[in-house]
């Protein structure tokens, strides 16, 4: 009897706990389903975007979408600080001969935060300019000048300060006096719609035109979706992209605009190439015919959240450039690619550039 009583007591307790267990199970199922639903809500836009980019990478580039002989190469600081010698220039000339490279952006700064430029940072600039003009007739040497802009921290150049903009103009005058064929400006991070940047470009353009020199800029990527820079800027403080309108405003103020079409966080070659095709089309739509538009090629390898080396390859970038050019303005003359950067370039990078882009170039 005692055992029966105990058993009966256990059954009674079990009966009382069954509804509670069922409610707990239902709650867990609801939580799992809700989590899966939220994950899908987050993933679907991303998967849709990646699918769209893969589709953009499909198709065949139009015939003739090769180098127009207006390409550029970013060069490191060693060419003007004394580390490079005559033999290095000879090797560079051998490398660039019969390619589409017309402009060299040689790092000759950086600018100080107040816009000044110490003479000590480019003691061999005149030597390098003369050596290039001697060994590569027709190739132009531009002073690559840049600085961090105080848009996302307290450190950096403040373009809102008229004295700083005036100092950048004086630095430009002085460096053009050395004999450079132009100035290539790279200020980052530069937020879309920065009116002070446009004021600076207006002043620089007046100066370069008066000297028959070039003004070029390194440009941020364009919003893949309208207003995306505003959304990202509100969420992270780093907008990353420019609006297409602002890109056009910059392009109208310079002789050359080179899109930094790398560090895209794309996970696959196909999505990266589709992204470059999209960027090429967006840039072509707002760059005036009088301005050289150059799309950047990643001549370097990194693996991090912003740049996956297995995805951001030169072949994928070139194919994307050719597809964007084909779809938007296949016959555009003032167009090229810009290679970033000489000191990390591999033979594989150069071979892809020469075989996929330079091959078939009648102007090279």
pTM: predicted TM-score of the whole model, two decimal places: 0.87
CA distance 187 to 260: 12
Give pLDDT, residue 46: 66
Structure tokens at 133: 């003009």
Cα separation of the two ends of the chain: 104
E-only strand ranges, the chain: 71-75, 101-107, 140-148, 182-188, 214-219, 256-259, 292-298, 303-304, 307-308, 335-340
Those residues whose C-beta lies under 8 Å from the C-beta of residue 127, and which sit 6 or more positions away, are none
pLDDT for 40 equals 43
Mean pLDDT of residues grouped by 10 in the chain (364 residues)? Answer: 41 56 68 52 64 93 97 98 98 97 98 96 98 98 98 96 98 98 98 98 98 98 82 70 98 98 96 98 98 98 94 98 98 98 98 95 80
- Helix (H), strand (E) at residue 129: helix 125-135
* Beta carbons within 10 angstroms of residue 315's beta carbon: 18
Q: Look up tokens 């560090």; give the residue.
A: 263
Token code pair at residue 67:
């180098």
């Amino acid at each position: 009897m005692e055992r029966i009583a105990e058993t009966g007591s256990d059954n009674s307790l079990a009966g009382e706990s069954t509804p509670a267990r069922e409610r707990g199970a239902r709650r867990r199922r609801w939580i799992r389903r809700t989590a899966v639903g939220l994950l899908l809500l987050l993933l679907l836009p991303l998967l849709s975007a990646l699918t769209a980019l893969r589709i953009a990478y499909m198709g065949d580039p139009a015939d003739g979408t090769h180098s127009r002989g207006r390409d550029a190469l970013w060069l490191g600081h060693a060419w003007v600080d004394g580390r490079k010698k005559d033999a290095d220039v000879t090797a560079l000339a051998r490398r660039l001969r019969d390619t589409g490279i017309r402009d060299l952006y040689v790092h000759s700064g950086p600018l100080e935060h107040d816009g000044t430029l110490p003479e000590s940072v480019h003691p061999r600039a005149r030597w390098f300019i003369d050596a290039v003009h001697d060994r590569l007739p027709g190739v132009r040497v531009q002073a690559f000048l840049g600085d961090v802009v105080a848009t996302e921290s307290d450190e950096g150049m403040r373009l809102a300060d008229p004295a700083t903009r005036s100092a950048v103009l004086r630095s430009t005058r002085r460096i053009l006096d050395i004999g450079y064929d132009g100035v290539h400006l790279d200020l980052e991070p530069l937020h879309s719609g920065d009116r002070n940047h446009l004021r600076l470009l207006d002043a620089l353009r007046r100066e370069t035109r008066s000297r028959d020199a070039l003004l070029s800029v390194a440009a941020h990527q364009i919003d893949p979706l309208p207003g995306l820079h505003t959304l990202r800027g509100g969420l992270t403080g780093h907008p990353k992209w420019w609006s297409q309108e602002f890109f056009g405003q910059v392009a109208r103020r310079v002789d050359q605009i080179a899109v930094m079409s790398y560090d895209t966080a794309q996970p696959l070659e196909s999505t990266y190439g589709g992204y470059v095709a999209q960027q090429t089309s967006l840039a072509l739509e707002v760059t005036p015919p009088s301005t050289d538009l150059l799309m950047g090629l990643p001549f370097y390898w990194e693996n991090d959240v912003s740049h996956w080396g297995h995805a951001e390859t030169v072949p994928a970038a070139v194919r994307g450039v050719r597809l964007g050019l084909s779809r938007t303005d296949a016959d555009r003359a003032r167009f090229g690619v810009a290679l970033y950067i000489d000191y990390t370039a591999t033979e594989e990078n150069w071979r892809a550039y020469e075989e996929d882009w330079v091959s078939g170039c009648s102007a090279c």
